[in-house]
Structure 1
Amino acid sequence: MHQPDHIPLHQGERIDDLLTNELKIIQSHEVFCFSMDAVLLARFASVPKRGRVMDLCTGNGAIPLMMSTRSRGVIIEGLEIQPRLYDMARRNVLLNGLEQRIRMHHGDVKQAVTQFGYGQFDLVTCNPPYMPAASGEVNERDHFAIARHEILLTLEDVIRVSSQLLRNGGKVALVHRATRLIDIVTLMRQYKIEPKKMRLVHPRRNTEPNMVLIEGMRGGRPELRIQPPLIVYEQGEEYCEELYQIYYGHRDSLT
């Protein structure tokens, strides 16, 4: 893969290895680095063989980068409201020589339909803020607060806009806290998205799930398939074999 030699790094930034298909990613602890949630969503989502994909709240572009390993025939776009994160995402596309396949945009998810139009996408993904604006301790550093709390964007905003962006039969895939599952399903149906597949993520065996991966189809018929649960840690702090393969040994076959 061609990688430009002179992608500028700003203060506090570093280049990390994404551990898949030789991808690299610019990150900084001064803003919000991608987490396991993003990795799992990028693997869970039904990436089409061709068409257009939109990643809302894309941050530094980790999810589009990882999804690009799964299909050569799609154009993947990302939308980020925070200028610094958008700039990192834009440089990450250049760093990996993927500017012909990934496009980054600066803008507000709530205005996405005005920016992109109705029914333009085959898949929408989102790793949205998890916590209501009034809950928990809101971090004083805006990058973290906006990423974690529904300050600029609510769950309903995400699902409403996703429905508007999708063509009929298109899919939306989300990762969220398991405690919000009923809210997610209720809002999906309210906005004409039928939940089609779901997977719960448990930290360890015999613990409650803390994450849910869920995908719905715009205009789909009722039928939800529940995948086997993912148990993150099997013994101590050691990842389960599936996660180990995703992080360290998985090589996607491009279609």
Structure 2
Amino acid sequence: MRDQKRVFKDWVMPGPTAPGGQTAGPGSPETGPETLDALSGLWRIFQYERGHRFSTDDLLTAWYGTSKCPSAGRALDLGSGIGSVGMMAAWRLQGATFVTLEAQDISVRLARKSARHNGIEPRYEILQGDIRDERLLAGREPFDLVLGSPPYFPLGTGIEGEHPQTIPCRFEVRGDVSHYCAAAARNLAPGGLFAFVFPTEQLERANAAAAASGLTIVTRRDVVFREGNAPLVSLFACALASDLPLTFRDKTFVEPALVVRTAKGEVHPEYRAVKYTMGFRP
């Protein structure tokens, strides 16, 4: 017999249960009200109604990293925001311990609330601080998997928005993709992997950032949001160049593009499969 708590629109939600117990609050005059939203399986995530909401980019980063490094025992999420990337990865890697690092206190507060709601606090540590500060992770064991969703744009190059949470999430207030690559390289375990997402049109910046930190982009996968259009973002899987054979360093295998929606606007079958493996209704 089906557990009706797991059934949503003819789909049975997989994965661990969540103890719950937390509710969306009114927030503050600065942040506005909170919402409690579906994440992977039975897990939930707290977000600000008018703040930075988790996105397809986040889901794909968690999926790509956990797919490329499925045996990770220790994982690090850099610039973790409200915890969407890290928690989706933790849902999939149920035996792994996680450390996340985020500078904004208003995001850290929500991430801790979500971790409590989902019952993962014993294996999910949330630190507050700047990813550029090497002292924050100094002396810790290195990580098999590092995840990152860097801000995409330099300050002053776009509309910043009114909510205080959105500006550092979209714009390079506390470092850029080069700082994410440097932090990942410092904290990777031998044979570890760093997965991140970045705009395809800024591919040269991503390549330069990885190379400057001693990383080789082992694989790259471009993401097309509508079939027939140009890719908007790319997923990167990197390893320390020093961990690779000489003949493999500085070589990238570019995988076939991942299409999110068909030309008719329907969800592409492969993206349905991606969602399914991450605990979302296909």
- TM-score w.r.t. the length of structure 1 is 0.90
Is structure 2 residue 93 aligned with structure 1 residue 71?
yes
Secondary structure of 1:142's counterpart equals coil
The alpha-carbon deviation at position 8 of structure 1 amounts to: 4.5
Secondary structure of 2:191's counterpart equals strand
Matched residues in 1 for 2:160 and 2:37: separation?
Answer: 27
Matched residues in 2 for 1:101 and 1:23: separation?
Answer: 15
Corresponding position of 1:241? 269
Is structure 2 residue 21 aligned with structure 1 residue 9?
no
Corresponding position of 2:227? 205
Matched residues in 2 for 1:195 and 1:177: separation?
Answer: 15
Residues 114-154 of structure 1, C-alpha deviations (whole Å, 9 max, x = no match) = 11126721211111110111211222432111110112221
Change in Cα spacing, 1:50 to 1:178, as seen in structure 2 (3 Å) is closer
Residues 188-239 of structure 1, C-alpha deviations (whole Å, 9 max, x = no match) = 1111101101100112232211110011101234232222111111043321
Change in Cα spacing, 1:22 to 1:3, as seen in structure 2 (3 Å) is closer
Is structure 2 residue 206 aligned with structure 1 residue 184?
yes
Gaps of 5+ in 1: none
Secondary structure of 1:40's counterpart equals helix
Matched residues in 1 for 2:254 and 2:72: separation?
Answer: 26
Residues 66-89 of structure 1, C-alpha deviations (whole Å, 9 max, x = no match) = 112322332112111110110111
The alpha-carbon deviation at position 7 of structure 1 amounts to: 1.8
Gaps of 5+ in 2: 1-15, 27-32
Judge conservation of contact 2:226–2:261 (CA < 8 Å) in 1: yes
Is structure 2 residue 159 aligned with structure 1 residue 137?
yes
Matched residues in 2 for 1:90 and 1:75: separation?
Answer: 15
Is structure 2 residue 162 aligned with structure 1 residue 147?
no
Residues 76-103 of structure 1, C-alpha deviations (whole Å, 9 max, x = no match) = 1211111011011111111111112221
Amino acid aligned to 1:197 = T
The alpha-carbon deviation at position 5 of structure 1 amounts to: 4.5
Amino acid aligned to 2:53 = C
Matched residues in 2 for 1:70 and 1:47: separation?
Answer: 11
Matched residues in 2 for 1:212 and 1:3: separation?
Answer: 32
Amino acid aligned to 1:193 = L
1:36-55 map, 5 Å: 36-45=56-65, 46-55=68-77
Matched residues in 2 for 1:183 and 1:229: separation?
Answer: 20
The alpha-carbon deviation at position 2 of structure 1 amounts to: 4.9
Corresponding position of 2:136? 115
Matched residues in 1 for 2:191 and 2:46: separation?
Answer: 34
Corresponding position of 1:230? 258
Judge conservation of contact 1:47–1:71 (CA < 8 Å) in 2: no
Residues 137-176 of structure 1, C-alpha deviations (whole Å, 9 max, x = no match) = 2224321111101122212111111111213322111101
Judge conservation of contact 1:197–1:214 (CA < 8 Å) in 2: yes
Structure whose alpha-carbon radius of gyration is higher: 2
The 10-residue stretch of structure 1 (91-100 or 22-31) with the greater mean CA deviation from structure 2: 22-31
Amino acid aligned to 1:105 = L
Matched residues in 2 for 1:92 and 1:157: separation?
Answer: 27
Change in Cα spacing, 1:142 to 1:205, as seen in structure 2 (3 Å) is same
Matched residues in 2 for 1:215 and 1:66: separation?
Answer: 17
Matched residues in 1 for 2:157 and 2:35: separation?
Answer: 32
Matched residues in 1 for 2:255 and 2:64: separation?
Answer: 11
Corresponding position of 1:35? 55
Amino acid aligned to 1:238 = E
